Structure 1
Amino acid sequence: MIQTKRKGEWFEILIPEEWATYTVQDFFRHVWQAPKKQVHTLRMEKKVKVNNAEANWTQPLQVNDVLTIQFFQNEEFPVQPSYYEITVLHEDDHLLVVNKPAGMDTHPNSPTQNDTLANAVAYYLQSKGELRAFKHVHRLDKDTTGAVLFAKHPFIGAILDGMLEKREIKRTYVALVHGILKNKKGTIRESIGRDRHHPTRRRVSPTGQEAITHYQLVKTDSKRNLSLVQCSLDTGRTHQIRVHFSHIGHPLAGDILYGGKPIFLRQALHAVKIQLIHPFTKETITCPAPFLDEPKIFSDLDPYSI
């Protein structure tokens, strides 16, 4: 694991052997693959030091050099803080993973909306004295529960966006679907686009965006004609799991929008785990998300075993 430390507004990294010989410029470009604009800003505003001196961006780093970056200045929140008691699954100086309840949007859909998970995160950070330009790295549907990853400053946000695009952030879901699946595991590769006849609905469409869902059967309930499945995504399209399982004839229980029966108050879908390699420490971060509400569908399923 890489040795790191926070000192006020500054973040320190002790350069290991694997990162030595990179120039500071190439380190940002190749190790973190940071956006050029953000790197340029750090450079112009002199927010990077090596061994307590202003960084020479073209000089190679050495083993045990101390690279220091000013990440933690107070910034305006992107949304209005609003109280809601949140369940934090993981937190460090850079990342925050929160367990989203049902019936809550991930982020505001209008400037006046203040009852979302992002508003609650802003309140949580404000209560700790951390005024941060945080952002959600991905989102969940309003009635889908589970783990949501937030970046606590813009630089890590840009890196996590890149990791998400390269499929380096693993997201695992569990869903209850109608019918008994014939195959114990499989992959659904069907592009997804908007439904011209419905403002929020999506559909499988050859002209849509690529969408790939891997699934594995966990158990079946023949009495209620239901299957519990575990899913992982190679892509993150809106309503992806809901659309894909509806398309193969197994809509999610409770998901009326996509043909599910209203045997539950919401679609039976839960983001049960997030896993990633921390960009700065190289530590493996694994965040199982316990079930917050009481859908009996998941009552005997241990998220820590998935």
Structure 2
Amino acid sequence: MPTNKKGRYAEIIIPENWKSFTIDTLLRDYWKGPKKLVHQWRMDRAILLNGKTASWSIPLTPGDSISLPFFENRKSTIIPTFHDLDVLYEDDHLMIVNKPSSIDTHPSSPEDSSTLLNFVAFHVSMQGEDREVKHIHRLDRDTTGAVLFAKHPFVGAILDRMLEERQIKRTYLALVHGDLKKNQLKIDAAIGRDRHHPTRRRVSPTGQKAVTHIEKIKYFPDKKLTFIKCNLETGRTHQIRVHLSHIGHPLAGDTLYGGKNIFPRQALHAYKMELTHPITEECITVYAPFIDQPPIFPELGENLFI
């Protein structure tokens, strides 16, 4: 279901399956949009139907045109900073970017200007618009791979909910020390803060529930490293790093969690992201190529990307 950007509006031709909705039920029940923003649009009479102010209580007619003010200019608090970006997917509503190592996902203070979010803000500002871009999730500073960003508040709120409801699937690749004996492994161990260290996490029965699924890809006996694939049911801070250390197979290069210092960073890469676009309903699958120079991960061919 494509959208057509016209200034501050996204124009959508109403599809057949929306005929049972009013504008009110479309925004609140179908999209489950942010209540404050939806209320503001209603008070401002901001939504148009066939170019005219729309009634919120009349059922929609397939083939009509609805215009939604997704793209209103909003002054961002993020300092836009130029930096080359590896953009994996982009449309009017969202972006997926391949994050390099040694860069934070988002600022830790208002004056911080050297994070991936700052770079995305600059990229969007070059399209001639003031946008309130937002990261939907984060990767650790030294983890590489796909990161999802929202380009306007309405889609950002929906993507937040989708992430919470596990409707956004993220797959990681990693190199761990030792030979992982099982080809498939589920790690179900709660994670909490380590009171002896300001940034470290640990497995703790009083922590938050955390579940990681592991698939063994290949063991390299000369390096005593196993190449694995990871999927998360939950998104706790340092989850993969903590869980793999907990089972005695820390990430190579992850000195915080017991890995040996054989790489300049922990060998963890978010290589695949899958989601249904919340506005267009397109099925999106994105792969993030390895970007380390010199390389960390072995290239195993296209059969890996399935």
Q: Indicate the TM-score class for this superposition, using the shorter chain for normalisation.
A: over 0.9
| Aligned AA (1:47) | A
Matches within 5 A, 1:189-268: 189-268=188-267
> Relative to 1, partners in 2 of residues 1:295 and 1:271: Cα closer, same or farther, differing over 3 Å?
farther
Offset from partner CA, 1:113-148 (integer Å, 9 cap, x none): 111111111111122213200100000000000110
Alignment gaps of 5+ in structure 1: none
What is the RMSD computed on CA atoms of the aligned residues? 1.3
Deviations 1:89-114 (A, max 9, x none): 11000011111100000011112211
Give yes or no for contact 1:9–1:70 (8 Å, CA) kept in 2: yes
Q: Equivalents in 2 of 1:65, 1:193: separation in Å? A: 51
Alignment coverage as a number of residue pairs: 305
Q: Read off the aligned partner of 2:305 and give its amino acid letter.
A: S
Partner of 1:182: 181
Alignment-derived partner of residue 269 in structure 1: 268
Is 1:290–2:279 an aligned residue pair?
A: no
State the identity %: 56
Distance in 1 separating the partners of 2:88 and 2:6: 24
Residues 263 and 296 in structure 2, CA contact (< 8 A), matched pair in contact too: no
Q: CA shift at 1:294, angstroms?
A: 3.0
Q: 1:32-71: per-residue Cα shift (whole Å, max 9, x none)?
A: 1112212111111222112222121111112112111011
Partner secondary structure for residue 103 of structure 1: coil
Q: Which moved more, 1:185-194 or 1:259-268?
A: 185-194
1:302 positional shift: 4.6
Deviations 1:167-186 (A, max 9, x none): 11111110100111111012
Task: Determine the C-alpha separation between the residues in 1 that align with 2:243 and 2:12.
Answer: 43
**Is residue 137 of structure 1 aligned with residue 136 of structure 2?**
yes
Amino acid at match of 1:116: T
Structure 1 residues 1-306: aligned runs within 5 Å: 2-294=1-293, 296-302=295-301, 305-306=305-306
**8 Å contact kept, 1:78–1:134:** no
* Distance (Å, rounded) in 1 between the aligned partners of 2:71 and 2:244: 43
Provide the secondary structure at the position in 2 that maps to 1:298.
coil
Partner SS state of residue 42, structure 1: helix
